[in-house]
Amino acid sequence: MQAIQLHQPASLADAAKLRSGNDDARFLAGGQSLLAAMKLGLNSATDLINLAALPDLAGIKVDGNRIVIGAMTRHADVAANADVKRLIPALAVLAGSIGDRQVRNVGTLGGSIANADPASDYPAAVVGLGATVRTNQREIAADAFFTGLYETALQNGEIITAVSFPVPEKAGYVKFKAPASRFALVGVFVSKGTGGVRVAVTGAAGSVFRAAGVEAALAGNWSAAAAKAVKLSADNLNSDLHATAEYRAHLIPVLASRAVTAAG
Amino acid sequence: MKADGIGARVTRKEDHRFLTGNGQYTDDISLPRQTYAAFVRSPHAHAKINGVDSASAAAMPGVVAIFTGKDIAASGIGGLPCGWLIHSKDGTPMKEPPHHILAVDKARYVGDQVAVVIAETLEQARAAAEAVSVDYDVLPAVVDTATASKAKASVHDAAADNVCYVWGHGDAAAVDKAIASAHHVSSLDIVNNRLAPNAIEPRAANAAYDKSSDSYTLYVSNQNPHVERLLMCAFVLGIPEHKMRVIAPDVGGGFGSKIFLYAEETVLVWASKRVGRPIKWTADRMEAFLSDAHGRDHVTNVQLAMDANGKFTGMKVTTTANVGAYLSTFASSVPTILYATLLAGQYTTPAIYAEVTAVFTNTSPVDAYRGAGRPEATYVVERIVETAARDMKLDPAEIRRRNFITTFPYATPVGLTYDIGDYPACLDKALKLADYAGFPARQAEAKTRGKLRGIGLSSYIEACGLAPSNVAGALGARAGLFEAGEVRVHPTGKVTVFTGSHSHGQGHETTFAQVVADKLGIPIDDVDIQHGDTGKVLFGMGTYGSRSLAVGGSAIFKAVDKVIAKGKKIAAHLLEAADTDIEFKDGVFKVAGTDKNVPFANVALTAYVPHNYPLDKLEPGLNENAFYDPTNFTYPAGTHICEVEVDPDTGKTQIVNFTAVDDFGNIINPMIVEGQVHGGLAQGIGQALLEGCVYDSESGQLLTATYMDYAMPRADDLPNFQVATHVTPCTHNPLGVKGCGEAGAIGSPAALMNAITHAVGVKDIAMPATSERVWRALQGRA
Ligand SMILES: Cc1cc2nc3c(=O)[nH]c(=O)nc-3n(C[C@H](O)[C@H](O)[C@H](O)COP(=O)(O)OP(=O)(O)OC[C@H]3O[C@@H](n4cnc5c(N)ncnc54)[C@H](O)[C@@H]3O)c2cc1C
């Protein structure tokens, strides 16, 4: 890892300015993904813009029928928050299942979804709840946010400020952990609310996706059995060292059914 | 029992230092004018090296020197030696192709070291290492163990078919006869998966050359500094042994991987004289995955012949063992001497034959890893015994009981003589602790929850306390396997003990001190254990093979006996009695039958202030050495029982109960023994459920080179262990101890795999039994 310049921006605008025009600059949130990538030589950033210098980016607020979570809110704070536990307990469960205690005490919501690791947990909640990603420039619907492997709709210099989650009628998240990394080998988030039934799957493909077959089954019959009966194709799912696409395809309905049970 | 003596749960003396961050590891040691090394490693599994261009790297900031294999070869340095000569069954010696300390014309595995860059800082060394450009012609890689001997490519020209040796052991004709006339022959094809050792402290070294004394000092994270020195001086670098001091300070785990003489520290020592400055290198985790010697990696067919009562009549074992790209220090002995000699297990099987083909591949060298050969043997024996029980519709406990050895000493057909044991007692105790009788009810209850419950046994044996030197020598060892100890009593009666054993997690500083304190009747805090420094310790063969207490402890025991014997003479003089009338007990020398006495500390003081002293008959001082060469191996044995629940929807296995009943002979510190068992079980369970090195079959890249991909066991993968001991004291060492360091890793994989295959109802599932493998087995079964 080479020497780097750490910048402490005074405002969002300042942070955005430091990033624009500098291809080797990156926003630093909890550093739990970024610094690891730099240590492995996978990211050669020379300048880090410390978003922790912007205190307004962290915090959890209830806003009508939504929970708005600041981008710099740590996983541990989401997991322990009374409002989250009361209104969207599945989200607290999800945040509490990320990594280990150390990671949860440093890693952030914004960093997680900006990074868009295909096996990360938060994307399942963002898509599974139909949340809205707020940035310094606009609002982005969940379904439009994750665009591919480690890719999002974020433009160069665009900063996530918060994610606004609608409070569902029911929601559940079940994560099947990869034994080595403890990221999701497959994770399934199910919800039922004003926007209908949503089933988001992480860990199984290049990016989080909605499992239409399971959604259709659950829309007709919100039950664990209905979810479990769905047969999914392994096409377009990941096969890697840890699991084949076939196994992942098998796990999705199994986990969806457990998520329905967890949703109560 | 003394509160801190033999048998007491004394908390570990060393832990305060470790837990408060005051350990002194190799990387903590920096010397004046320190430089840092980074190795240029081959990114290819197999490649011809056309040339190494280091010109631009050499011009980079801070670079002190860059050396390549050509530089080393030009200085006349040969390769790393292998410490054990194995002969093929046709009588030819094993193939020993050169193992250059920097690759010369070919790189043979991903991570093979090609050049070393030495610089003022670690960052500069690493940056320059990246700038060294190596011109490679990539060659096809040989990766797979089972097919290596048929591969088109050759790892070494000297072994065109990639075969290092084909070794046979036992009576093949008798076994064939037993199989031909058997009531039933059970057969099993199994793989013992390759493991990375994963010591928490990666390998590290810091080498310095001192011009004024023309001598070297090497700090190295190592399990046997004297062996390291001997091999490096006498067999590689030609440095006179007395001109080299090897210090293995605090070492954060080894599990076998730090027994061996590696290229890196050898290069550092060689280069330290050239650059005239100390050079330090510490592996990062990925380097550790790539370059530490791995463990296991066997492919085996086993056949077990039985009579109608399930009595074993013969066993045939055919194994291919992967030794990797080069023969590491003890690589050749692990799948032979440390493996096939254990294939009798705890049973009276009268005829056993094993044939082992060792193959070279384009992978990291494979050598001893916790258990070394014995886990592989146990896995073969205990999996086939369980298979036999299923084939014969016998209870797995019953088939074991019918075949147990019950009279001792017992000479096995594979060359060992077990001195003592009580296998039925261990089995019975384990069955009771595990509530074996209650299993059917628990299985039925699990079924109501949709879970498949299984139970598996493993009655393992191991040969520890390595080793009678003459026996080892006859089997091909190129070293002795005794241990040395020195007990230095200071004038005030405090004691420093020097041992050739090395502690890298085992707790010697406590266990050995308990032995000495107990024997001398002094407080444990009056005893200090020193190890790991050839400059302090007279000699030593180091720590591996669960040998420290049985062999190293026995040497100390003998030295203490000598101290007491001399003390008696001094006491006799002080008390004006005959030597033979003096007894020593609880730290006091006493004239038998009287209350005339003198405490140990006074005798010590007299030895160093010999005013009233038999100077005409006795030298002053109280300092004794002893070497102990064991007369036999020790044979720890026991039964492990594992109970699992498998989730049929996902294939996920949960261990719901694990019981280990072990016979380690006498126990010095039960707490430390339990800790060793827990750690061993974690590693054995890790092997069976989680761990495994995977190489890409085409490119030979190690796909599991980080903790994102290599699954180590974590606390929540493990149940609360139920551990207990049953004691039959070893008959041939003075402490009656057998060793406990490896048993957990040896016995547990078979118990766990027997339980999983029982739950799922299949013959075999490959280790690690990942959820997907178990799920697939369930699909196949349905
Ligand atoms: C040992 C370990 C285990 C882990 N296990 C899991 C797991 O089980 N599940 C899981 O989901 N994750 C896991 N993670 C990842 C963890 O959740 C990280 O916290 C997360 O992926 C990144 O968040 P961060 O705050 O650390 O972001 P950083 O690492 O600081 O940043 C990540 C990326 O996002 C960008 N970025 C950060 N904040 C913003 C913003 N507000 N706007 C725009 N771009 C931004 C950065 O520039 C960078 O490119 C694990 C990490 C570790 C080290």
A26 lines ligand 1 (CB under 6 A): yes
Answer yes or no: do B518 and B574 share one domain: yes
| Ligand 1 atom at shortest distance from the alpha carbon of A177 | 8
Contacts of A251 in chain B (CB under 8 A): 650
Contact: A180, B775; criterion CB under 8 Å:
no
Answer yes or no: do B637 and B620 share one domain: no
Answer yes or no: do B613 and B688 share one domain: no
Q: Decide if pLDDT at B782 tops 60.
A: no
* A 184-243 → B contacts, CB under 8 A: 241-243
Going by pLDDT thresholds of 50, 70 and 90, the confidence category of residue A1 is: low
Span from the CA of A108 to the centroid of ligand 1 (angstroms): 6
Distance CA A100, CA B660 (A): 30
pLDDT digits (tens, 9 = 90+) for B584-603: 999 999 999 999 999 999 99
Q: Decide if pLDDT at B18 tops 90.
A: yes
- CATH code at A5-166: 3.30.465.10
Q: Is residue B748 part of a domain?
A: yes
- Which residue has a Cα nearest atom 14 of ligand 1? A99
Contacts of B127 in chain A (CB under 8 A): 2
Q: Is residue B178 part of a domain?
A: no
Q: Taking the domains of chain A in order of start, what are their residue ranges? A: 5-166, 170-263
Q: Is residue B144 part of a domain?
A: no
Could you tell me if A176 lies within 8 Å of chain B, comparing CB atoms?
A: yes
**Residue found under tokens 């293995």:** B248
* Secondary structure in 3-state letters for B194-252: CECCCCCCCCEEEEEEECCCCEEEEEECCCCHHHHHHHHHHHHHCCCHHHEEEECCECC
* Secondary structure in 3-state letters for chain A: CCCCEEECCCCHHHHHHHHCCCCCEEEECCCCCHHHHHHCCCCCCCEEEEHHHCHHHCCEEEECCEEEEECCCEHHHHHHCHHHHHHCHHHHHHHHCCCCHHHHCCCEHHHHHHHCCCCCCHHHHHHHCCCEEEECCCEEEHHHHEEECCEECCCCCCCEEEEEEECCCEEEEEEEECCCCCCEEEEEEEEEECCEEEEEEECCCCCCEECHHHHHHHHHCCCHHHHHCCCCCCCCCCCCCCCCHHHHHHHHHHHHHHHHHHHC
* Secondary structure in 3-state letters for B489-525: ECCCCCEEEEECCCCCCCCHHHHHHHHHHHHHCCCHH
Going by pLDDT thresholds of 50, 70 and 90, the confidence category of residue B448 is: very high
Interface of B with A (CB under 8 A): 123, 127, 649-650, 652, 689-690, 694, 703-704, 707-712, 717, 770-772, 775-776
pLDDT digits (tens, 9 = 90+) for B751-776: 999 999 999 999 999 999 999 999 99
Token output for B8: 């007491």
- Which residue has a Cα nearest atom 10 of ligand 1? A120
pLDDT of residue A40: 83
Answer yes or no: do B506 and B408 share one domain: no
Answer yes or no: do B615 and B704 share one domain: no
Residue in chain B nearest A179 by alpha carbon: B711
Q: Is residue B405 part of a domain?
A: yes
Contact: B712, A247; criterion CB under 8 Å:
no
CB atoms within 10 A of CB B187: 16
Of B595, B628, B661, the residue that ends a domain is B628
Q: Is residue B194 part of a domain?
A: no
Contact: A2, B711; criterion CB under 8 Å:
no
Of B583, B613, B628, the residue that ends a domain is B628
* Domain that residue B95 falls in: 31-139+200-253+258-291
- Which residue has a Cα nearest atom 31 of ligand 1? A111
Answer yes or no: do B246 and B265 share one domain: yes
Least confident piece of the model among B268-272, B475-479, B711-715, B720-724: B475-479
Span from the CA of A70 to the centroid of ligand 1 (angstroms): 14
| Ligand 1 atom at shortest distance from the alpha carbon of A107 | 19
Q: Decide if pLDDT at B248 tops 80.
A: yes
* Domain A170-263 in this protein, CATH class: alpha beta
**Nearest-neighbour CA in chain B from A251: distance (Å):** 7
Could you tell me if A2 lies within 8 Å of chain B, comparing CB atoms?
A: yes
A216 lines ligand 1 (CB under 6 A): no
| Ligand 1 atom at shortest distance from the alpha carbon of A117 | 21
Q: Which of B649, B687, B691, B776 to mutate to test the interface with A (most CBs of A within 10 A)?
A: B649
The answer to whether the beta carbons of residues B588 and B595 sit under 8 Å apart is: no
pLDDT of residue B276: 98
Residue in chain A nearest B648 by alpha carbon: A254
For B53, the enclosing helix (H) or strand (E) is strand B47-53
Span from the CA of A36 to the centroid of ligand 1 (angstroms): 10
Q: Is residue B420 part of a domain?
A: yes
Q: Decide if pLDDT at A2 tops 80.
A: no
What's chain A's length in residues? 264
Could you tell me if A250 lies within 8 Å of chain B, comparing CB atoms?
A: yes
CATH number of the domain residue B581 falls in: 3.30.365.10
Going by pLDDT thresholds of 50, 70 and 90, the confidence category of residue B33 is: very high
Span from the CA of A87 to the centroid of ligand 1 (angstroms): 25
Helices B554-575, B600-608: axis angle to 10 degrees equals 80
Going by pLDDT thresholds of 50, 70 and 90, the confidence category of residue B4 is: confident
Answer yes or no: do B771 and B649 share one domain: yes
Q: What is the mean pLDDT of residues B296-301?
A: 98
Q: Which of A251, A252, A255, A260 to mutate to test the interface with B (most CBs of B within 10 A)?
A: A251
Answer yes or no: do B617 and B666 share one domain: no
What pTM was estimated for this model as a whole?
Answer: 0.97
Going by pLDDT thresholds of 50, 70 and 90, the confidence category of residue A3 is: confident
pLDDT digits (tens, 9 = 90+) for A148-205: 999 999 998 999 999 999 999 999 999 999 999 999 999 999 999 998 999 999 999 9
Ligand 1 test: best mutation among A44, A91, A98, A113, most atoms within 8 Å of CB?
A: A98
pLDDT of residue B1: 63
Of B610, B628, B646, the residue that ends a domain is B628
**Nearest-neighbour CA in chain A from B765: distance (Å):** 16
Q: What is the mean pLDDT of residues B661-681?
A: 98
Q: What is the mean pLDDT of residues B68-77?
A: 96
Going by pLDDT thresholds of 50, 70 and 90, the confidence category of residue A43 is: confident
pLDDT of residue A41: 83
Token output for A175: 């994560």
Answer yes or no: do B348 and B385 share one domain: yes
pLDDT digits (tens, 9 = 90+) for B698-726: 999 999 999 999 999 999 999 999 999 99
Asked, colleague to colleague, whether A5-166 and A170-263 share their fold, the answer is no
Q: What is the mean pLDDT of residues B441-470?
A: 97
pLDDT of residue A195: 86
Distance CA B105, CA B307 (A): 56
The answer to whether the beta carbons of residues B582 and B575 sit under 8 Å apart is: yes
A70 lines ligand 1 (CB under 6 A): no
Answer yes or no: do B537 and B680 share one domain: no
Contact: A180, B776; criterion CB under 8 Å:
no
Q: Is residue B722 part of a domain?
A: yes
Total structural domains within chain B: 3
The answer to whether the beta carbons of residues B760 and B452 sit under 8 Å apart is: yes
Contacts of A242 in chain B (CB under 8 A): 709, 770
Q: Decide if pLDDT at B42 tops 90.
A: yes
Q: Is residue B322 part of a domain?
A: yes
Answer yes or no: do B286 and B245 share one domain: yes
For B588, the enclosing helix (H) or strand (E) is strand B588-591
Residue type at B233 in one-letter notation: C
Over chain B, what is the mean pLDDT? 97
pLDDT of residue B629: 97
Q: Which of B650, B703, B711 sits opposite A251 (nearest CB)?
A: B650
Contacts of B776 in chain A (CB under 8 A): 247
Residue type at B418 in one-letter notation: Y
pLDDT digits (tens, 9 = 90+) for A4-17: 999 999 999 999 99
A73 lines ligand 1 (CB under 6 A): no
Answer yes or no: do B418 and B488 share one domain: no
